[in-house]
Amino acid sequence: MIILNLTDEQKRILDDPKVEFGFLLKLTKEQRKIIRTKWGVAPSKLEIWETRKGLWDCSCMSANLGLRFSKDQLEVPREYVMSDKAAKKVRAAE
């Protein structure tokens, strides 16, 4: 698992009440580098689940999850991290 710190802009985006469950958040170059260094793949976006609000769903068709467990951080579980191309295929299967 990796913990990523959110930028102020990412927090602003995610705190917008119009943002829906499963929103695809664009990662910064630095965040992508952290993931690539540890796991050898660097997705450009994460599907955000707002776990602080108790929102959860079946993860069987999920890819590149980012679990927001605090205002400032995301938890990225390894088992859902894949290339953008692979993630697109997984999401298309829904």
Q: Are 5 and 77 in contact (CB under 8 A)?
A: no
Question: CB neighbours of 41 closer than 8 A, spacing ≥ 6?
Answer: 35, 81, 82, 83
Summarised one tens digit per residue, pLDDT across range 77-91 is 999 899 999 998 888
Structural domain including 10 reads 2-92
pTM comes to: 0.86
Summarised one tens digit per residue, pLDDT across range 61-82 is 678 999 999 999 999 999 989 9
Phi/psi at 6 (nearest 5 deg)?
-80, 145
Total domain count for the chain?
1
